Amino acid sequence: MDTECIVIASAASRKSIAIAKSIKKILMFKTIGVFHTFHPFLASRYFDSRYMFNVERNSVKWVLAVASVAYRHGCIGVVPVDFIDTLMFSKYRDVFEDRGVKVVAPRYEDILFASNKVKIYERLSSVLPFPRQVLYRNDSIDEISSLKPPLVVKGLGDASNPSYHLDYDSAIREARSRAPCIIQEYVEGVGRGYYTVSYMGKPLLEFTHERVIEYEPIGGASLEARGYVYDPSLISIGRKAIEILNWSGHIMIETRMDPETGDYYVIEINPKFWGSIDLSIHLGFHFPAIATVLYVYGYERARGLVKSLYGSIGVFTWVLDGLRYIPKSLRIWLKMSLDALRNPVKTDMDIMDLGKSFLQIVTAIKRFGREKQKWNSYIASSQQQCSIWIKRFLDTVKSRDVVLIMDFDGTIAELPIDWTAIKRELVSRGYLYRWESIRRGLHRLWNQNRDIYNEASKIIEKYEESVLDKAKLLIHVTDVERIHRYFPICIASKQASNIIQRFLAKYGLERYIDIVIGRDWGVGPDKYSLYRACIDNTKKRNAIVLDDGLDYLIKAYRLNLAPIHINNRYNVYIALRSIRLGIPSLNIIEAFNLIYNTIRNLYY
């Protein structure tokens, strides 16, 4: 291809450098960065020229300013970066095309439709899995009662600004202040995305990723992510979506996966370049270059270029963008930094772009005060939801009709099991798909073939038994004994019942545990069923649940139980996620002390 130029606007976005890198590396075009405000990327070497116009991006002035730059340089196309850029440039496509400039973006009507959460839900929910939700218009209170908290309240547009609620009252108060809006059942799980450049409903290039660290522990753009994540279920959801929409251009389908069942839920559809685009670019999946060729030169040329690409798998860390975590939790940022040091090539700290990196650090430090204010708001919202949890917890203890339900491994004990070896054997025997986790595979086998499930369970039990002598007790026997004076205790675990009972006998705990319900007990491996079995077999109406799996505790909460997240190694990221939902995150000793002290205060 002859040397050409492409305008990237607004380049005041963390996505813009990845877009420029892709276009320069694959197409060898010059890149012109147009900014709507001051930004560290003004110093980046990846833009051959830079312009800044201090205008609102939702105005025609912004469109005309960018179009004039493209025309002045004789550029063949403009790549919009953020949603507002994509929407405006697509809407005024003729302004660019009259100047001989192609807009690298889907059709305006398609963008409007895909970004409308109500319309996209109505169009796709009959064939794709979405969280249960209602559209709130100040008259939908009866419909909200069909949902089960925790709930999410979010806006209808691109900037959904979600808030999280443990009860109906706080969700309705928030919804009334934001109506019309969506109220949705919260999905705890793994954030995964499918993104593609497609043509008439067929993918040209596709990629999947998994979020490791996000802007906030409860959600947001990626600050550390990995890909390519191979999972046929996720890929199928993405392909179905673009086929139904007959989509042409770039798009992302954001999902959450329930790690226990493997069920995916579509959270949002974003008809724009995604915040984690650095990851795919560094792994060889050059979406900006492919999209540019598609819109400028056509489908056949884009398809030919795709065939020349070579992709890999890996992790990308936005360690500079992640500086925002320092006023929130230095520990989280230090973890990101260590991950970046292990993989220095795949980070946003570019030693070949030192001017940009220096300005980015300075700008981040200047924003620490603003980030601290946001974090204080996060903590305040967490405290509001914690007060709702406290009421449920106190009501549960007051009832005296209570069973204490505890998980085993990771909660009251630590088993040094080689899960990698177990998975390898289960995969080699054909019991597990290589993209499945063990717990997801057990869920599938229980529902598909009980005989094979039992065989897989026996294989796992062999490994559990081999480490039984090395297993550690994480709780004091006296703590269990004093709680048992007031409540029956049930263990609900994905371990084999026999393994748990032998461990309890070793420490003299069996006399204080009324019932042990493991994966071989006959109700399956899913925690929802295990919790229910504890309640049914102890004939109690209420329960306090101690578990180290936050996704399990959401299911416990929806059973009207009082959950406590057990965080023995204190993973601060998971702790802050749990607390934002209103669920306390404690080690097992702290949890037992909380329960016992509450009993003493309420009963005497």
* DSSP-derived pairing of the beta strands 413-414 and 472-473: antiparallel
Q: Is the dihedral of CA 273, 277, 280, 281 positive or negative?
A: positive
Name residue 477's beta-bridge partners.
Answer: none
Domain boundary (318, 344, 362) is at 318
| Residue among 44, 90, 45 nearest 66 (CA) | 90
* Torsion (CA) 18, 23, 28, 31 in degrees, nearest 10: -80
Do 173 and 234 share a structural domain? no
Residue 353 belongs to some domain of the structure: no
The answer to the question of residue 326 being in a domain is no
The dihedral formed by the CA atoms of 517, 519, 523 and 527, expressed in degrees to the nearest 10: 80
CB 154 within 8 A of CB 179: no
* Domain identity same for 516 and 598: yes
Are 578 and 559 in a shared domain? yes
What is the number of domains present in the chain? Answer: 4
CATH code of the domain containing 232: 3.30.470.20
- Which residues in the chain show pLDDT less than 70? 1-2, 140
User: What pLDDT does residue 140 have?
Assistant: 67
How far apart, in whole angstroms, are the C-alpha atoms of residue 252 and residue 230?
Answer: 16
Q: 20 and 32 share a domain?
A: yes
CA angle 263, 268, 269 (to 5 degrees): 115
User: Nearest to residue 228, comparing CAs of 313, 316, 347?
Assistant: 313
| Whether residue 163 is found in the same domain as residue 214 | no
Closest CA to 286 of 160, 410, 196, 216: 196
113 lies in some domain: no
One-letter amino acid of 560: N
**CATH number of the domain enclosing 590:** 3.40.50.1000
Q: Check whether residue 181 and residue 213 sit in a common domain.
A: no
Whether residue 191 is found in the same domain as residue 313: yes
pLDDT at 3: 73
Among 297, 318, 339, give the residue marking a domain's end.
318
pTM: 0.94
3-state secondary structure 16-49: HHHHHHHHHHHHCCEEEEEECCCCHHHHCCCCCE
